[in-house]
Structure 1
Amino acid sequence: MVGMHSPDGSPTPDWHTGFAALGPAFLTHLPPTPLPAPAWVAHSEEVAQLVGLPPGFMPSETALQAFSGNTVLPGSQPYASVYSGHQFGVWAGQLGDGRTLHLGETTAGWELQLKGAGRTPYSRGGDGRAVLRSSIREFLCSEAMHALGIPTTRALCLTASPAPVHRETLETAAVVTRAAPSFIRFGHFEHFAARDMQTELRALADYVIDRYDPDCRQGWSGQDAEGNTLHGNAYAALLHAIGQRTATLLAHWQAVGFCHGVMNTDNMSVLGLTIDYGPFQFLDGFDPGHICNHSDHQGRYAFNKQPQIAYWNLFCLGQALLPLIEDQDVTVAALEAYRPAFSQAFRTLVCRKLGLPGAELQHEAAATATIGQLLELLAAQRVDHSIFWRRLSLSAQDGDPERTRELFLDTKAFDRWLLTYQELSAQMGQAPDANLMLNTNPAFVLRNHVGELAIRAAQQGDFSVVQSLHQVLRTPFDDHPAHRAWADFPPDWASSIAISCSS
């Protein structure tokens, strides 16, 4: 895709109106705030091709200046969108893109955003900046999640500047360029519903349906808790579709051991994407009640609460859409479909992790029992989540369970579970598929301490660790012998890393 040309003659992206066509009630146009002396930290050629950037555009000087907020590309009309939401379970009122600017939508159908591009009308007193520390985490995790097969926004590039940014300490600025088919959140709908702006609410819902869910125009049919058949309109079908996508997303999070950390309704994507990487964490020792966000004093967003919180957020979305659905029973029924969808998706994913695809359908009771016993065992002994699954895969490959058994202090408890696992395998009439397991259970995830190593190097001006880690996380199921330490147990100091909403 080649559009117009920048002043230096290099080709620039071509743009498509997209979300901005909804009008001024939804957004405010404004330019980014420039940053001094920007420098490349990392970029993704894969994402550049995906979003349709011209060949050679990355990592040109034109791209560096544009994706640092210092110039506006020809044809781009940057804007910040307005939304509202519930934060930590409390209605927060109007929010919006407080430090994010949408550059527009490429003709390949991808929206590009600058995160850290300066103040907007929705900054609520903030400086509109992002710091290098959190920007590295978002860039790396966005791409790591995609490589794991988990729905997510993508990260095109990361630039840094020596400009000071005040958080708990003095840090430096950075800008992440994010990409997604859409960044529309539950909170966009909540915003217009809360203000009784039903014309805008309907326009937003129609936009999402027409762009992303055209099948919803056929309406929705389902059952209530008593088994009665109900019929709903296109907006009920939209709520159901968002619920199904959200169920799939949460199943992926729980299966891989990912904690989001701040599941506010304004951080929930209507496309079922992982969005807004803040105080996230991949589990080390398996602790279902783990709280990764040090700002979450009540533990609202603990790991084991994520599926229920997603339902709570969907309920808020359902309330926002109720004026369009016009039937409370239909709204509730469309929402309730989330629960069985999540349970089924989670069982399916874990059976694949066990190398027994289809067990959740052919032997549901036995599969459910095997999974439940395993999760209880991992929790009781705080076994490292990622290492357990990888070693189980290697044990399936060589037929020797010892490398997995040695992870457990109570080896007899592991052997009892292993017998249950073997019985499920026998019922399936097949041995666990080791190749499937090795391509389902990653050797590498973005652990907090590994990300911290990249951050510390970058803060000293060395971006090579970020770049190397980016390459490893793009292929997380490979062994990468030169970087095996990144797949090992976390060091003692890792437990002292505090991740909060501050970024």
Structure 2
Amino acid sequence: MNAPESGLLRFTTETLPFENSFAGLPASFYTRLRPTPIRAPYLVGASARAAGLISLDPSEFTRESFVEAFAGNTILPGSVPLSAVYSGHQFGVWAGQLGDGRAILLGDVPGKPAADDPAGRIELQLKGSGLTPYSRMGDGRAVLRSSIREFLCSEAMAALGIPTSRALCVVGTDMLVMRETPETGAVATRMAPTFVRFGSFEHWYYNDRKDELKQLADYVIDNFYPALRDASNPYQALLAEVTRRTAAVIAQWQSVGFMHGVMNTDNMSILGITIDYGPFGFMEAFDAHHICNHSDHQGRYAYDMQPRIGQWNCFALAQALLPLIGEVDDAQAALEAYKPAYEDKLDELLHAKLGLKSRLPEDSALTEAMFTLMQANHVDFTLFFRRLGDLRIEDLASDEPLRDLFIDRPAFDAWAMQYRNRLKQENSRDVERRMSMYAVNPKYVLRNYLAQIAIEKAQNKDFSEVAKLLAILERPFDEQPENERYADLPPDWAGQLEVSCSS
């Protein structure tokens, strides 16, 4: 069955046309199993925008059959549920076999064609749907707290224009899940063209299974990178393209102050999109060395480490693909794409954030001085760039809201003078520049304290804040005067919030 024509939302929950392409791989790639049902499921939140990607009518959200299906309590017609096996490096150490320990893939359905999936296919995956053969010491469940965070951040990142998995919904249950303390459980439905990851290739490489390694690489190329099939060495071309995409998406993370928290190779998408939201965070008081994951004791995944770790992970992927690529020199040549791709993308994004239309060699000194100043004053990342758009070249008084973010006001004034001089060099116009800067510098991001407020209300069966926060984050660049307080500096108590790998 083909997807509905653009603009026509006609699929119901029961008529979603599953194709199950990953299930077409040999049985060694996965285990087929059904989700473990949960008691008395209820809908916590759902995204109409995500539903639109698979032409699912949002009115389905009110139906009991929708909640039962995405709780994992019923199997939809045509779905072939399974959990995939993979391995990976965790915090830089080889961890051996991992796999979908609490995730079950329902299958893929036709979706709207996108740059990262020319075939227009989207997989639906339940997270927190029960034990699998890959659960190891885990319980196969997810808690409401982490499920809400992943749901909101997936949709927030998409609205920011950053390649990401999406989140269709969160279904809650009063069943308790043990973490540091007992918490109510939930199941989140994640969406992506594929959930194949770097660790999927590492699994076959480290088990010396070249046939499966090739099968997986061919599956990825044929389904998601068909243009690479004509390359002289398709596997080298695959590594180069994934390297470029990974570099570009991490540059986008850096540009909005997003920190993933757990950049293990099993959490890195082969499509170069953001997946596996766990202990993530958005930078508030700027500190380039900030560690958002309380479990990351060595700071491996700190904000300023993300670009280097992205490159390290690409090297790990190159090692796994080497039996297919053939020569070490060819793999290294593919990896050379990382640094220029990252630097060019970040430079492009920073120029846009500063409202600069042209690129000059001396601009790097301006941006380095800016980040040094932000670091010294621990300036709020999001507010700094948003308020910078209000600066007017000939009106120093326009700086006051921005200037108020700094302890060292004279140092800010000196930098602002450099910035003004640079704007004058290209005859920048205040109104035009402000509009362009507002379009790339969000006013609203998912701050930890905002998520925490929504979570605490949801734990008391009030899901209104989840819905409201989703609506705000779907329009991150708009002014939204009625929601002004959601753009405020975090309250003092927010500094006590911690997220970890159990989050």
- TM-score normalised to structure 1 length: 0.93
Following superposition, the deviation at residue 397 of structure 1 comes to: 9.9
1:284-303 mapped onto 2 (5 Å cutoff) = 284-303=284-303
Between the two proteins, the alignment pairs up a number of residues equal to 482
Conserved in 1, the CA contact under 8 Å of 2:261 and 2:301? yes
Segment of structure 1 superposing worse, 31-40 or 11-20: 11-20
Name 2:385's counterpart in structure 1. Answer: 389
- CA offsets, 1:71-96, max 9 Å, x none? 00011010000000000000000000
Q: Secondary structure at the match of 2:167?
A: strand
Name 1:421's counterpart in structure 2. Answer: 419
Q: Can you give the 5+ residue segments of structure 2 that lack an aligned partner in the other structure?
A: 4-11, 112-120
Following superposition, the deviation at residue 175 of structure 1 comes to: 0.7
Letter in 1 for 2:415: W
Name 2:410's counterpart in structure 1. Answer: 412
Name 2:144's counterpart in structure 1. Answer: 132
- CA offsets, 1:286-324, max 9 Å, x none? 000000101001111010000000000000000000110
Q: Secondary structure at the match of 1:163?
A: strand
Letter in 2 for 1:199: D
1:342-381 mapped onto 2 (5 Å cutoff) = 342-357=342-357, 359-360=358-359, 363=360, 365-381=361-377
User: Does 2:88 align with 1:90?
Assistant: no
Name 2:40's counterpart in structure 1. Answer: 37
Conserved in 2, the CA contact under 8 Å of 1:286 and 1:384? yes
Q: Secondary structure at the match of 1:293?
A: coil
Letter in 1 for 2:156: A
Name 1:116's counterpart in structure 2. Answer: 128
Q: Can you give the 5+ residue segments of structure 1 that lack an aligned partner in the other structure?
A: 4-8, 220-231
1:75-224 mapped onto 2 (5 Å cutoff) = 75-108=78-111, 109-219=121-231
Q: Secondary structure at the match of 1:15?
A: coil
Name 1:6's counterpart in structure 2. Answer: none
User: Does 2:43 align with 1:15?
Assistant: no
Following superposition, the deviation at residue 211 of structure 1 comes to: 1.2
Q: Percent identity?
A: 52
- Residues 253 and 204 (structure 1 numbering): CA distance in 2 closer, same or farther, change over 3 Å? same
Letter in 1 for 2:155: E
Conserved in 1, the CA contact under 8 Å of 2:13 and 2:56? no
Letter in 1 for 2:52: Q
- TM-score normalised to structure 2 length: 0.93
Letter in 2 for 1:375: F
Following superposition, the deviation at residue 107 of structure 1 comes to: 2.5
Following superposition, the deviation at residue 482 of structure 1 comes to: 2.7
Rounded to whole Å, the distance in 2 between the matches of 1:422 and 1:304 is 28
- Residues 10 and 425 (structure 1 numbering): CA distance in 2 closer, same or farther, change over 3 Å? closer
Rounded to whole Å, the distance in 2 between the matches of 1:304 and 1:199 is 38
Rounded to whole Å, the distance in 1 between the matches of 2:389 and 2:196 is 38
Q: Secondary structure at the match of 2:28?
A: coil
Rounded to whole Å, the distance in 2 between the matches of 1:348 and 1:323 is 36
Letter in 2 for 1:135: S
Conserved in 1, the CA contact under 8 Å of 2:19 and 2:78? no
Name 1:241's counterpart in structure 2. Answer: 241
- CA offsets, 1:143-183, max 9 Å, x none? 00000111100000111000010000010100110101111
Letter in 2 for 1:123: S
Letter in 1 for 2:70: F
Conserved in 2, the CA contact under 8 Å of 1:98 and 1:128? yes
Conserved in 1, the CA contact under 8 Å of 2:151 and 2:167? yes
Segment of structure 1 superposing worse, 58-67 or 340-349: 58-67
Following superposition, the deviation at residue 484 of structure 1 comes to: 1.7
Rounded to whole Å, the distance in 2 between the matches of 1:396 and 1:168 is 50
- CA offsets, 1:13-48, max 9 Å, x none? 111121111121111110000000111111111111
Conserved in 1, the CA contact under 8 Å of 2:177 and 2:184? yes
Rounded to whole Å, the distance in 2 between the matches of 1:397 and 1:61 is 57
Following superposition, the deviation at residue 207 of structure 1 comes to: 1.1
- CA offsets, 1:406-451, max 9 Å, x none? 2111112112211221222233232361111111111100001111
Following superposition, the deviation at residue 369 of structure 1 comes to: 1.4
- CA offsets, 1:113-132, max 9 Å, x none? 00000000100021100000
Name 2:501's counterpart in structure 1. Answer: 501
Rounded to whole Å, the distance in 2 between the matches of 1:58 and 1:45 is 9
Letter in 2 for 1:49: G
Name 1:475's counterpart in structure 2. Answer: 475
Conserved in 2, the CA contact under 8 Å of 1:242 and 1:272? yes
Q: Secondary structure at the match of 1:270?
A: coil
Letter in 2 for 1:407: L
Letter in 1 for 2:494: A
- CA offsets, 1:346-374, max 9 Å, x none? 010011011113x33xx1x1221111111
User: Does 2:342 align with 1:339?
Assistant: no
Rounded to whole Å, the distance in 2 between the matches of 1:373 and 1:434 is 22
Conserved in 2, the CA contact under 8 Å of 1:43 and 1:59? no
Conserved in 1, the CA contact under 8 Å of 2:158 and 2:166? yes
| RMSD over aligned Cα atoms | 1.6
